Amino acid sequence: MITVSIVNVTSYTGLELLRLLAQHPQFKVTSITARSAAGKRLDEVFPQLRARTYTPMVIAEEAEQTDLAFVCLPHAAAAESVVKLLERGTKVVDLSADFRLRDAALYEEWYQHTHPAPALLETAVYGLCERYRAAIEGASLVANPGCYATAALLGLLPALAMGISGHDVIIDGKSGISGAGRSLTLGTHYAEANEDVSAYSLTGHRHLAEITQELEAALAGGLPMNRPLRITFIPHLVPMTRGILATCYADLNEERASTTAEVRALYAEYYAHEPFVEIVDQPPHTKWTYGSNHCLIYPMVDTRTSRLLVISCLDNLVKGAAGQAIQNANRLSGLPETTGLPPVSVYP
């Protein structure tokens, strides 16, 4: 068995990790932390976790020694915890944004904070298995991608890597309220968010930085770099608990593909061996991914405007966070990526 700790278990991602890891045949959670609930038994704080696996567990203030750790702290605080864990020889999957960007100055620009451990940016691996599988396997620190970024990247990587699209990209993202975390805010209060849809971060959402970083990296072998990639990303809050739907628009390179059938064939080829990415034959619904680690992608061509449209859909707490983290941890531990992850979603 591989021993596992979860740092900040009281976050939504920490709780989702507990739910998923209860079924994992090789990972055993032996340490859980949360300063706000330190000293309390897990099922006192979360009665829904009365499963025999977790009932005796007590929430600690600091993590015990384990083989692997999932860090679910906010940015900046996460980096400090990651440094301590790595010094102890623990492999880490960090679910914060602290190690997603390769440039410390870019991190400071977007997160308004001096990076606590800039030297680690050189060795941290961006945890998108569909792109960095080999690098993840040999890493000590994996930076789990953001939820919006995962949906956008999986939707657009084939288009840019295979030269299907142009340089101008628009991403319209919609997310459930759990994406904002458990901390109470006016905007996520039931009476404010219910029966309402709103756009936010119009001047630049933080996930845009990692989306840009990874799409620009994908251009090698795809589009010529004769002009910069231009990305507009607008996120929206939708009154549902889970789910992300990203609708992506880009000009179509008709020399590479001109019909929906051709685009779908190229996408199917790109993701032919990916266990958690499916090319679907109709626009996906967020409910289709509820509780699963799958990303559903529907690419098509708007023949009237010669524009590529790609709709990608996932559960923000699973493929967008905890499930993807386990996928990365499986890869770190030499296990099949699908180990312990539910093969189907919950419906209705």
The vertex-125 CA angle with 122 and 129, nearest 5°, equals 160
DSSP 8-state class, residue 286:
G
Active site residues: 147
Residues 178 and 36 in one domain: no
Strand partners for 319: none
DSSP 8-state class, residue 126:
E
Q: Give pLDDT, residue 53.
A: 74
| C-alpha span between 89 and 134 (Å, rounded) | 21
pLDDT, tens only, 155-171: 999 999 999 998 899 99
pLDDT, tens only, 298-315: 999 999 999 999 999 999
Residue 56 has a CB neighbour count (10 Å cut-off) of: 9
Residue 179 belongs to what domain range? 148-316
Residues 188 and 108 in one domain: no
| CATH number of 308's domain | 3.30.360.10
Residues 158 and 113 in one domain: no
Band of pLDDT at residue 50, cut at 50, 70 and 90: confident
Q: Give pLDDT, residue 221.
A: 54
Residues 57 and 161 in one domain: no
Q: Give pLDDT, residue 228.
A: 82
| C-alpha span between 237 and 97 (Å, rounded) | 20
pLDDT, tens only, 207-232: 999 999 999 999 865 555 567 899 99
Secondary structure of residue 295 in the 3-state scheme = strand
